[in-house]
């Protein structure tokens, strides 16, 4: 894992940053995030969980090849942004 990621991410969260962790189910990056960051840092992440939203697009590959996967990604992203900035 990138040793620069944890301190940078925690600094971001400490400043009140919010993040949408959006993954494709068939993408290895989801399992790497869980294995190399979320699990080892679970205790440190606990106070920041309200700032994080995690979503996995079921069955999707890394590039979200199919339209339903793309629509789900857009809908989840839009919903997350609307919770941050209000619906327009």
DSSP string, 11-62: HHHHTT--EEEEEETT-HHHHHHIIIIITTTHHHHGGGGGGEEEEEETT--T
Q: Give the pLDDT confidence of 44-78 residue by residue, as tens digits.
A: 999 999 999 999 999 999 999 999 999 999 999 99
pLDDT digits (tens, 9 = 90+) for 4-39: 999 999 999 999 999 999 999 999 988 999 999 999
Query: How confident is residue 87, by pLDDT bands cut at 50, 70 and 90?
Result: low
Tell how far CA 31 is from the center of its chain.
12
What pLDDT sits at residue 1? Answer: 74
């Amino acid at each position: 894992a990138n040793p620069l990621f944890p301190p940078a991410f925690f600094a971001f969260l400490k400043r009140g940053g919010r993040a949408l962790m959006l993954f494709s189910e068939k993408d290895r990056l989801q399992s790497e995030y869980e294995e190399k960051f979320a699990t080892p840092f679970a205790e440190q992440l606990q106070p920041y969980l309200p700032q994080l939203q995690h979503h996995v697009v079921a069955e999707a590959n890394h590039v979200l090849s199919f339209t339903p996967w793309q629509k789900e990604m857009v809908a989840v992203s839009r919903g997350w942004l609307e919770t941050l900035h209000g619906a327009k």
